[in-house]
Amino acid sequence: MCTTELGYTAKLKPEFERRGVKVLGLSVDPVESHHRWEKDIEETQGTAVNFPVIGDADRKVSELYGLIHPNASDTLTVRSVYVIGPDNKVKLSITYPASTGRNFDEILRVIDSLQLTSQHKVATPVNWRDGQDVIIVPSVSDDEARERFPDGWKTVKPYLRLVPQPGSKG
């Protein structure tokens, strides 16, 4: 993780906590170097690192998950994000090139979608944001949909039924 990403993640801690999400970082640098790095992060990003960062100096975890960039040095990692659900299964994996910082607004959006769709038989459409309409999954019959969504829905196509987001205040 880069300095700016660690700082931004620390600033987002209340957002992660609101969603019941725990953040964990992994670095190919030894733990001793993290202490110096964390001081740099606090100085340059205006916030202290407030989540664990695991040292993977022997690169066992990084190699296991393909996090070392294949065309770069041993310490240049790709920028991967994994969202692991309460069932300990990977729900999302996003890998950015080492030259591109991660988009944490998108990561939060995906977490919102994953949590919503795990609780209701809905899917989120393109560029969906919390509070917007969602799609009733095609496996839900109209009879079941009437039970689940008694206020109705808009049918665009038989497989594309839009409904207000369950639990949304909007």
Q: Which residues are catalytic?
A: 2
Closest C-alpha among 22, 20, 169, 136 to residue 9: 22
Instruction: For residue 33, give the amino acid letter.
Output: S
Cβ neighbors of 63 (< 8 A, separation 6 or more) are none
User: What residues pair up with 25 in beta bridges, in sequence order?
Assistant: 53
- Terminus-to-terminus CA distance in the chain, angstroms? 36
What does each C-alpha distance from 77 to 27, 65, 96, 158 come to in angstroms? 9, 11, 10, 45
The span from the CA of 63 to the CA of 154, in Å, is 48
